[in-house]
Amino acid sequence: MTATILDGKAFAADVRARVKAHVSQMVNEHGITPGLAVVLVGEDPASRVYVRNKGVQTLEAGMASFEHKLAVDTTEQALLALIARLNADPAVHGILVQLPLPAHLNAELVINSITPDKDVDGFHISNVGLLGTGQKAMVPCTPLGCLMMLRAHHGSLAGLNAVVVGRSNIVGKPMAQLLLGESCTVTIAHSRTRDLPDVCRSADILIAAVGRPHMIRGEWIKPGATVIDVGINRTDMGLAGDVAFAEAVTVAGAISPVPGGVGPMTIACLLANTLTACCRSNGLPEPEGLTV
């Protein structure tokens, strides 16, 4: 048996196309253009590439793109002042501060200074609380992308056993909340989980988000399970996921590759979140299938 490959590039292209169509309709019918502001502090090479890609895809979707590139020694006061201006700007519907920030800046303070309704990363403590209590929230982009892929593959997820390996605030915890919202039975596992291979083998849906290359072995996977590999690890052999793909692909029913799996969905879901934020702020119907 060879697993079905969950093609993140194709999923992301479909999400971007739906966002673009909805944006075009919004502009034509209401004269409203969703706007995304991205703030980059410093010269981190990976962050610069990521921000550039976000800007290109934002414009391709018909949205307004506002980029703010600040020096690495920018003060916290100056950064917070910029965010305050963006919070008050009606042309800006989504604000993203690219992480990681330089060490002298308090990331939690900066993130929580963003108006929750414009927090398209879904990291503000208010959005974390709303998601955790099953209320309408801005949802972190990577878990949202994973959920979209799972919905597309399975349809209903109700009653399935889901194991999330990883407990980060960015992926693991919100992913578990989203799966609970789909009526899965959810286990959060991590590096200190006892009998981790056995826990993984109980999963109908296995989400690997631990940040260790090839940690999840093929023998840890339940035959026929759906495996979503969130890991992006740079190794001497190139990019590698958290799952030993060559082993897993012969056991799983479906699996997302690295690269080309979850990664492309992250920016696509950022665009979807910006559109959702714009719809909510203007009292318009939210785009179907692009939010939770």
- The secondary structure of the chain in percent helix, strand, coil, rounded to multiples of 5, reads 45, 15, 40
244 contacts 235 by C-beta, under 8 angstroms: no
- Domain total of the chain: 2
Q: Give the catalytic positions in this structure.
A: 54, 98, 121
Q: Are residues 183 and 202 in the same domain?
A: yes
Helix (H) / strand (E) containing 128: helix 125-132
For residue 63, what are the domain limits? 30-130
Burial call 166-195: b when 16+ CB within 10 Å, e when fewer: bbbebbbbbbbbbbeebebbbbbbeeebee
**What is the per-residue pLDDT across 25-66, written as a single tens digit (0 to 9) for each?**
999 999 999 999 999 999 888 888 888 999 999 999 999 999
**What is the per-residue pLDDT across 239-277, written as a single tens digit (0 to 9) for each?**
899 999 999 999 999 999 999 999 999 999 999 999 999
Alpha carbons within 13 angstroms on the beta-carbon side of residue 12 total 21
Is 95 among the domain residues? yes
Q: Are residues 34 and 107 in the same domain?
A: yes
Residue 158 has pLDDT above 70, yes or no: yes
Q: Are residues 254 and 157 in the same domain?
A: yes
Q: Are residues 121 and 149 in the same domain?
A: no
**What is the per-residue pLDDT across 61-95, written as a single tens digit (0 to 9) for each?**
999 999 999 999 999 999 999 999 999 999 999 99
**What is the per-residue pLDDT across 161-196, written as a single tens digit (0 to 9) for each?**
999 999 999 999 999 999 999 999 999 999 899 999
Residue 238 has pLDDT above 90, yes or no: no
- For residue 44, the model assigns a pLDDT of 85
Q: Which residues contact 121 (CB under 8 A, 6 or more apart)?
A: 96, 97, 111, 138, 140, 141, 270, 273
Q: Are residues 206 and 238 in the same domain?
A: yes
Q: Quote the longest CA-to-CA distance of the chain.
A: 57
What is the C-alpha to C-alpha distance for residues 21 and 27, in angstroms, rounded to an integer? 10
Tokens of 33: 């253009």
Q: Are residues 61 and 121 in the same domain?
A: yes
- For residue 1, the model assigns a pLDDT of 67
- For residue 191, the model assigns a pLDDT of 86
Domain termination residue (choose one: 109, 130, 151): 130
What is the C-alpha to C-alpha distance for residues 258 and 273, in angstroms, rounded to an integer? 24
Q: Quick count: other Cβ atoms within 10 Å of Cβ 47? A: 16
